[in-house]
Structure 1
Amino acid sequence: MAGNRSAFNRRHFLLTSGAVAAGTGAAWWLLPQQRSSSAAAPPVRPAAPATPAAPAGPAGPYGVTTLDMTARIGGAGDGYRRIGPGPGWPVVVRSEFAEAGAGRADRRTPLACFVQFTDLHLADAQNPLRTEFLRVGSLGSWRTQEALSVTGAVALVKQANALGGGPHTGRPPAFVISTGDNVDNNSAVELDWYLTAMSGGSITPNTGDPQAFEGAMSSGLPLFWQPDDALRDVDKLRGLPRIPGFLDAVTRPVTSPGLDIPWYSTPGNHDALPGGCLAPEDEQLRDIVTGSRKLLTVPAADVAAYVRVLNSGDDPKSAVLKDILRRNAAGARTVTPDPRRRMFSPHEYLAAHLDPAYAGAGPAGHGYTEDHLNDDRMYYAFQVAEGVVGISIDTTYRSGHFQGSLGSEQLDWLERTLTAHSSLHYDADGRPVRNAGADDAHLLVFSHHHSPSMTRRPDAGRPEEQRHDGEEVIALLSRFPNVVAWINGHSHINRITPHPHATASRSFWEVNTASHVDYPQHARLIELTDNRDGTLSLFATLIESAAPYRTDFGDLSDDGLASIYRELAYNAPGLARTMTDGVKESAAGTKADRNVELLVRRA
């Protein structure tokens, strides 16, 4: 667990080390307010250094899973690097808890097959409350790809629909579960985009002026990539291309086919809080998010002050950010107000899932029922397959923090739910407890936060309730021999952690999956089998979206944009220095964190 606790989450990814040391080196980016764009310059294709050749590889647009083929980045160094198809990743058998018995593949019985999406971060890139100004301190604090998040999510939906039978069971996936950070900024329009992407329909990923993009990428500021513009901004100097027509393309309607199979939803901190960490439903922030002023640059000292409170999490009322926005308001860009950007409450989040307009392939409410509206409760249990039960928990702080926790009420509910599906469990002192009336199912727990990101920090939104961290959740799950895995996201990393117990049958796996907005843009196909020898196997296979690996900057179709989305994510500032053979170990994980067979022993 110590190794996991040092892993970065989304916030640490965006707040790279340069942001903390913001100061002298950033001064040249603080330009006069709204320097005019050079949009009048004739459109030209980028010079050859800006679009180096894609790496050679096998033909084909994409693999069905990463067992077949994977996106690989070519070249070396910190310049812009092209994506191409590469060989698939093999299955790694992990037998920390149980021996991998010979002949189990011939004996095994399929139990379940489903898909996990996580950290889609569907983003309104023109939202006035976005903190792009953090890039004053670090290039990695803003995503060049974020305006393409809707198109990228639709490409992932298409891939889930195309999967067919699981590679290890032959069973088609029965459902998709999205484990939080479904949207990026707790914005009502983003929630509509997410629900429509999952259920099917037309999405226009544009807000404000319907005729003009009003985000950082049309600001004329060289601090941000200006894709339509000939301006030699800081990203073009890194090798990013000029793509005339890009901003029109990313804001046009895109149609999602919707998932062909049922889907379930789990909340994350970005679903509950603006920016994933700001004060919810704050009056001043509410006025800014639907208003007409968007701040893009601030003094480096303000960046450093904001980074300090982001890292500490000790500003639940967002006082530092509100002060920065107030003091720098005169330098903000004027944009078109849009009431659709408003923040949504937990009650509205639940009600939207229950809206028949977003029913898609079902189930009604996507895990939530009318009963959940009574107390804005966002945790539930559901049947994964015959003899397999899923438990979705809500790990978010309601008061403003990017870390997670469970309150005592929900922890008690989790214990009762585990008990109801376990004929045998152990009490806190290790004594066996029999429950003859239980159905004794195999149990899978789902959440947004992974165990290292859960703390005991008090929640100002629920001050009367004690909070519980990841270690306490692990201790509870370890008391139930039929818990197979805890499946989650938040970290934007592929990481699979064994949680051993002295009694092998009480050990379980934590399956942490990377995001679909940042490198490496993965989801997981998960299959559970009974090996008929006292063991189960949980197969976790990474999948990528249905976007071609080879990017064509002249192709601004939906598929072409999804391909650009992936390539931009693979070229995030700083990633090239830490990649080896196209794999960034801290995000894509080691081979033992990607395509795996996870064995567990069952008494």
Structure 2
Amino acid sequence: MARTGPGSAINRRHFLLTSGAAVAGTGAAWALVPRQRQHTTPPPAPAPEPVRRRRPAPYGATTLDTTARHEGSGTGGTGGYRRLGPGPGWPLVVREELTAPRAGRQDRRTALACFVQLTDLHLTDVQSPLRTEFMRAQGPGSWRAQEALTAAGAVAMVDQINALGGGPHTGRPPAFVMSTGDNVDNNSSIELEWFLTALSGGRITPNTGDPTTYEGVQNSGLPLFWHPEEAGLRDADKRRGLPALPGFLDAAIRPVTSPGLRIPWYSTVGNHDDLPGGCLAPADPLLSAYVTGSRKLLTIPEADVAAYARAVRTGDDPASEILKDILPRYASKARTVTPDEGRRMFTPHEYLAAHLDPKYTGPGPVGHGYTEDSLDGDRMYYAFEVAENVIGISLDTTYRSGHYEGSLGTDQLRWLERTLAAHSSRSYDADGRLVRNAAADDAHVLIFSHHNSPAMKRRPDAFRREEPRHDGAELIALLSRFPNVLAWINGHSHVNRITPHAHPTTPHRSFWEINTASHVDYPHHARVIELVDNGDGTLSLLTTLIESAAPHRTDFDDLSAVGLASLYRELSYNAPGVADALTSGVHEGWAGAPRDRNTELLVTAAGRS
């Protein structure tokens, strides 16, 4: 792969999508007994309240207080493995591209809402036969050394959210968590169980196949992959400086109990939730049989690697014909593994039904945004109340027939338009003419989706062949017709990036796009978002990144769940190209520039210009 910086993040994802890259692991064990909760719908959100000053917390701290930083070389090696430790926080950056800040606004503010965004958790069965790790022959960045520890990282993030207390700028407690897609990696039933358990609380066993041992690439003897338990094998990653860690694989498949989130949580669907590997043909008979079977292909000739990579990159093989040719052709060279029906692919209907299962209700709401009505037509989009006079809209941007890019179908786009109109007394038609709706009460609107605008492309969806699709530019155009749309919050890119969408003639038709990095690649961020009314015709969205509750400094001798969560972060920091980008000063890597991290995003209130 030619480039590894933020400008090439989508290119890197092309390879990671084909690797099935994402992660199973042992969750952290800060709380080993799940708390009992009432399975009830949460009470209405509290009314707006005066802002309180931020109060740093030693546990539940945000990146305003402290961040993981480079501490110098550790184990050595050709690549110079880099260690992490605690460092200073990142400052707040005021973004005024959409409207100018007014003096004294901090003293006039009223808090309207506070919530947390998770995205791209990628909880993964790393032993699944359908993962295409052989793509690492295309480049070292197409497989992750930290993949077996994602559950540990996810549970560590759950603990950090539980410890937050209040938003750092308003003191208002987060009302809910929204997970914006790629909640799992390989469209696997067992991965879906792990995701729902991690957020709702309960015991996770991040192991499939043989219940007593790991069966995957990291004890295969192939030098293409990191073998943490074989000190004598000079694999590609040890040559870069990664350590030998006896006991790592046994630790990675141990059961763990997640405490679950203490606040309600909602779910948005991503391409890895809908599609195996995030890009393969769903429910295909050959792939369905292979994923639950006994053969796991680890290497293939370079020509086949290149052909498959090209098919994924271009999207010209929605039926996955190239992969379906590769798997049986090299079956005799595949590793024998233990079959497991738990790895079976799930359908959109089963995805919805699992969210509605009472055992996963946790702190609510029932269905986590989806309802029994969602099962009719398998509709994965909905609206919900964020707070008083604040509406959230969760979209389904996936191609169900097999592609990692996103789009909206016409039916959903029209539903979105009707939903926005129902909460807007003033809007604009496609020709820019003002439309008044006296029957509607204005509400602030926040949009949630998995794909960000650059990743939404217009291409046919074989699953919904007769329905036209709509890209990111068309969605931006629709949202800009409604002055009360404040922000579009998404993931998919694995990069922190905040983009203003300024309307060229009418300032109050502008909004922000907030794109947050993943939990599988460094820097493993979630984002606290606080909405405030500045009392001067402007609103502010205060965005604050948080890291997990795992200690910044990794102890190689600590293979407890807590230790693994720290190791998860540090291994991802040492992914090919990541640490060099972050320490070179050339660019900011996937963490984003300061303007993409902790920010105040000013926007003109609807009806003001």
TM-score, reference length from structure 1: 0.90
Q: Indicate the SS of the match to 1:110.
A: strand
Supply the distance in 2 between the matched residues of 1:355 and 1:472 (Cα, whole angstroms).
35
User: Counterpart of 2:337?
Assistant: 335
Residues 63 and 352 (structure 1), Cα distance of their counterparts in 2 relative to 1, 3 Å cut:
closer
Q: Is the 8 A contact 2:292 2:342 kept in 1?
A: yes
How far the C-alpha of 1:11 sits from its partner, in A, is 6.0
CA contact (8 A) 1:72 1:582 kept: no
1:69 to 66, 80, 83: 66
Quick one: which of 280, 286, 289 aligns to 1:287? 289
What are the residue-to-residue correspondences of 1:493-572 with 2, within 5 Å? 493-501=495-503, 502-572=505-575
Task: Check 1:429–1:199 CA distance in 2 against 1; reply closer, same or farther (3 A cut).
Answer: same
The alpha carbon displacement at 1:519 in A equals 1.0
Relative to structure 1, is the Cα distance of residues 597 and 464 closer, same or farther in structure 2, using a 3 angstrom cutoff? Answer: same
Is the counterpart of residue 360 in structure 1 residue 362 in structure 2?
Answer: yes
Q: Deviations for 1:495-529, whole angstroms, at most 9, x for unmatched residues?
A: 00000012111100000000010011111000000
**Aligned counterparts of 1:509 and 1:214: Cα–Cα separation in 2:** 45
For residues 588 and 444 of structure 1, the distance between their equivalents in structure 2, rounded to whole angstroms, comes to 23
Residues 164-203 of structure 1 correspond to what in structure 2 (within 5 A)? 164-203=165-204
Alpha-carbon distance change, 318 to 221 in structure 1, aligned in 2, over 3 angstroms: same
Contact 1:61-1:548 within 8 A present in 2 as well: no
Matches within 5 A, 1:342-381: 342-381=344-383
The 3-state SS of whatever aligns with 2:421 is helix
User: Deviation of residue 10 (structure 1)?
Assistant: 5.8
Q: Which residue of 1 aligns with 2:15?
A: 15
* Residue 61 of structure 1: how far off its partner (Å): 8.7
2:210 equivalent to 1:213: no
Percent sequence identity over aligned pairs: 71
**Conserved 8 A contact 1:104-1:531:** yes
Asked whether the 8 Å contact 2:494–2:590 carries over to 1, the reply is: yes
Following the alignment from structure 1 to structure 2, what is the Cα–Cα distance between the partners of residues 123 and 201? 17
2:252 pairs with 1:250:
yes
Distance across 1 between alignment mates of 2:7 and 2:420: 29
1:156 deviation in Å? 0.4
Deviation at 1:311, TM superposition (A): 0.7
1:576 deviates by 3.0
CA distance in 2, matches of 1:268, 1:318: 19
Paired with 2:70 and 2:356, the residues of 1 have a C-alpha distance of 41
Q: 2:450 aligns with which of 431, 448, 451?
A: 448
Letter paired with 1:137: Q
> Residue 14 of structure 2 contacts residue 313 of structure 2 at CA under 8 Å; is this kept in 1?
no
Change (3 A) 1:6 1:140: closer
* 1:584 Cα offset (Å): 5.8
* Corresponding residue of 2:307: 305
- Return 5+ residue gaps in structure 2 as ranges: 20-56
**1:473 corresponds to which letter in structure 2?**
L
1:200-248 CA distance string (max 9 Å, x none): 0000000000111001111111111111122221111111111111111
Kept after mapping to 2: 8 A contact 1:62/1:85:
no
Shift of 1:7: 4.0
- 2:537 and 2:604 in contact (8 A); partners too: yes
* Partners of 2:427 and 2:483 within 8 A in 1: yes
Measure, in 1, the Cα distance between the counterparts of 2:589 and 2:243.
27
SS of 2:158's equivalent in the other structure is helix
CA RMSD of aligned residues (A): 1.7
Asked if 1:235 corresponds to 2:232, the answer is no
Aligned match of 1:49:
none
Matches within 5 A, 1:393-404: 393-404=395-406
8 Å contact 2:6–2:588 — kept in the other structure? no
Instruction: Find out whether 1:412 has 2:414 as its counterpart.
Output: yes
1:134 is matched with 135
Whole-angstrom distance in 2 between the partners of 1:339 and 1:524: 36
Shift of 1:13: 3.9
Does the CA-based 8 Å contact 1:14-1:140 persist in structure 2?
Answer: no
Q: Residue 93 of structure 1 corresponds to which residue in structure 2?
A: 94
Residue-by-residue CA offset, 1:169-194 (whole Å, 9 max, x unaligned): 11010000000000000000000000
Shift of 1:330: 1.1
Measured in 2, the distance between the counterparts of 1:78 and 1:262 equals 43
Aligned to 2:120: 119
Q: 1:62 to 1:132 in 2, by over 3 A?
A: farther
Kindly state the Cα deviation for residue 86 of structure 1 after the two structures are TM-superposed: 1.1
User: Could you tell me whether the CA contact under 8 Å between 1:74 and 1:81 is conserved in 2?
Assistant: yes
Where do 5+ consecutive residues of structure 1 fail to align? Answer: 20-59
Q: Which amino acid aligns with 1:390?
A: G
Letter in 1 for 2:403: H
CA positional deviation for 1:581 = 6.2
Counterparts of 1:422 and 1:516, CA distance in 2? 35
Q: Are the equivalent residues in 1 in contact too, given 2:425–2:441 (CA < 8 A)? A: yes
Cα shift readout 1:440-463 (whole Å, capped 9, x = no counterpart): 100000000000000110101000
How big is the shift at 1:542? 0.4
Following superposition, the deviation at residue 74 of structure 1 comes to 3.2
